[in-house]
Chains A and B, each alone.
Chain A
Amino acid sequence: MKQIASSTALALAVVVFGAGCASGVKNPSGVPVTVMKPDEQGFVAGTGIESQDLVSVTDKMARSLLSTPEINSFPGGVPRIVILPVENSTRFPINKDLFTARIQAMLNSKAQGRMRFLARDRMTALEQERQLKQEGKVTSNSDPNIQEFKGADFFLTGKLMSLTTQAKAGVSDYVLYTFQLIDPRTSDIVWEDSAEVKKQSIEDAAYR
């Protein structure tokens, strides 16, 4: 009886153990779609620039810019702003337009007409449209020969810089985001703000 019991226990242990490691496939049934907020860190993370950084940085910049006296008390009415591409001086290749696109969208939605952005990235199409109007090929509600394209009162641009430290304890990446509002007439920097993010991790020994 004792022998039977011990043999049965052994066989049971084998079955349980075997069942636990039989598939070799991770998540064989898949993982349902996980909806995440763009400002929260997902389970796929590195030390680079991620969506939560983009959201927090652009939120901060938009808030800061909206409270700038040069914008709120612009003497010429509503200031016109042209966004220049940011310069990426970090070690992380990124889609730089994400930053300017989100800042512009945030400001346009929150500013309630206190500032206007000029669509310089659409100049080719705008000039073609104006030419069609000047040639009478399409209708126009105003005299198309009068120059109505606005000049910029300010340039909004930014720069991303990083400092990487690698040590036995792992890798650490500090990223500094700076944005500036520049008066193109005087080259004055009338507003500047920054945000910084630092991340660190240590790689698994299997990759070191």
Chain B
Amino acid sequence: MSAFWRTSIGSFLLALLLAGCASVSPEEQAHRNRALTQFQSGATALRNGNYSAAKADLDAALLVIGGSSAGDASARESRSYFNEESVKTFRGEPYERVMAYYYRGILYWMDGQPDNARAAFRSAAVQDQNPELGINQADWVLLDYLDGLASAKLGGDGSDAYRRSVAEARLNKPPPYDVQANVLVFLEMGQGPTKYAAGEYGEQLRFRPGSASDPIAVVRVGSVEAKVGPYDDLTYQATTRGGRVMDHVLQGKAVFKKTTDALGTGAIIAGAGVAIAGDSNATRNVGLGLVAAGVISKIVSAATTPAADTRQWSNLPNLLSFVALKLPPGQHHMTVDFQGPNGETRVTRQVHFEVIPGRDTVLFVSDRNT
């Protein structure tokens, strides 16, 4: 067997191996995607009023994103040249992790545990920080506002958190706290941002803006009416964090892929030229060796996968809002009109609820069904 053929067979086997090693079994990948599945089913359950299912899903997902990722073998695999980023255990981008804690905080408050709700909002804020990118302070209005409101209701001082929330407000300034307000209405509107991969090899994670055609919520309970706009915008949160550390890893993979591809092309062309023009077996063998080396380089390039991870929590809203009402104990009926910028009602939701003395009544109203 000539050196050329041996190298060719070796190259073929190498290609098979690189392709095989890069794959993760469907069962294992499903396991790594479990937090994503739980995020989405938890949000759907919350919107459908199935709060026990929402808690179970979100608690399971928060166990994944709350634990340390240090030593995670799937994360190590995702950094290698021959695995896509999406083989890592899904933990979501910061805005997705924030939303998981935010939803869980609402559910804690529903259960009469404002201190655990506050804990969830604080953990959400930590997800938004990244000193490596110069982000030392979260900039979600509602996280700070609700942190301060919970503190004020528990007899503490929420003024610092309130001041932070006002300083972060871009869309609407939140009102001062009324600790006597006993009905807390969490509102959300629209479809959140979507991820896509850009760049020559899809190595750049990008976001298409989300949208909400009904950014205003008019809340009516008897003679009480409140018109509220959004406080937080998920598109803004997704797109204003700058790069990720992982982006540098993916950029390195892309450079490696491009370089090995170019080297392979060059070696094949040069080797073919030498082999054709060669006037001796030795020269022709050198040429064929160059071709074989070029083929190997091309195979390595083809097996390199710099694509960014675009798995995403697909049923997030685009806008978040909140209003606190003061209502007497007893049964009540609430109407929420989600309106467009010109006041036209796009979606109406009806909610029956009971105000129980001595505790907050927490309502979650979305313009989405799933």
Contact = CB atoms under 8 A, between A and B. Distances in A.
B28 A25 contact: yes
B75 A208 contact: no
A47 interface: yes
A208 B69 CA distance: 10
Interface residues of A, number: 41
B115 A204 contact: no
Nearest to B27: A25
B231 interface: no
A64 interface: no
B106 to A, nearest CB: 12
Interface stretch (B18-26, B330-338, B361-369): B18-26
Given A24-B24, A204-B70, A208-B246, A87 B115 contact: yes
Contacts of A203: 68-70
Interface string A1-36: 001001100110010011001111110000000000
A46 interface: yes
A168 interface: yes
Interface stretch (B120-128, B170-178, B215-223): B120-128
Contacts of A93: 104-105, 108, 113, 116-117, 119-120, 123
Given A45-B67, A45-B68, A93-B104, A208 B132 contact: yes
Given A22-B20, A45-B68, A208 B6 contact: no
A201 B68 contact: yes
Contact of A206 (B6, B67, B88): B88
Contact of B130 (A14, A17, A96, A208): A208
A73 interface: no
B66 interface: yes
Given A89-B115, A167-B131, A201-B68, A206 B78 contact: yes
Interface in B65-96: 66-73, 75-76, 78-79, 85, 88, 91
Residue among A23, A91, A166, A206 with the most chain B CB within 10 A? Answer: A206
A202 B71 CA distance: 10
Which of A6, A14, A18, A207: most chain B CB closer than 10 A? A207
Contacts of B20: 18, 21-22
A204 B13 contact: no
B235 to A, nearest CB: 22
B245 A90 contact: no
A205 B249 contact: yes
A167 B130 CA distance: 7
A75 to B, nearest CB: 32
- In this complex, the interface size class of chain B, counting residues with CB under 8 Å from chain A, is 35 or more
A206 B126 contact: no
B75 A46 contact: no
B154 interface: yes
Contacts, number: 121
B23 A92 contact: no
Nearest to B2: A3
B137 to A, nearest CB: 10
Nearest to B82: A21
Nearest to A20: B21
Interface string B40-83: 00000000000000000000000000111111110110110000
B126 A91 contact: yes
A204 B129 contact: no
Nearest to A166: B129
A10 B66 contact: no
B244 interface: yes
Contact of B245 (A21, A47, A208): A208
Contacts of A207: 69, 75, 88, 91, 246
B131 A166 contact: yes
Nearest to B244: A208
Instruction: Name, among B68, B78, B105, B116, the residue most crowded by chain A CB atoms within 10 Å (CB to CB).
Output: B68
Nearest to B59: A93
B328 interface: no
Interface string B240-252: 0000111001000
Given A206-B79, A207-B75, 9 more contacts: A26-B28, A90-B119, A91-B123, A166-B126, A202-B70, A203-B68, A204-B75, A205-B75, A208-B130
Interface of B: 1, 6, 9-10, 13, 16-17, 20-21, 23-25, 27-28, 66-73, 75-76, 78-79, 85, 88, 91, 104-105, 108, 113, 115-120, 122-123, 125-126, 129-132, 136, 154, 156, 244-246, 249
4 cross-chain pairs, A with B, having the tightest CB-CB distances, nearest first: A91-B122, A204-B75, A208-B245, A206-B75
10 contacts: A46-B68, A89-B118, A91-B119, A168-B132, A203-B68, A203-B69, A204-B71, A206-B78, A207-B88, A208-B246
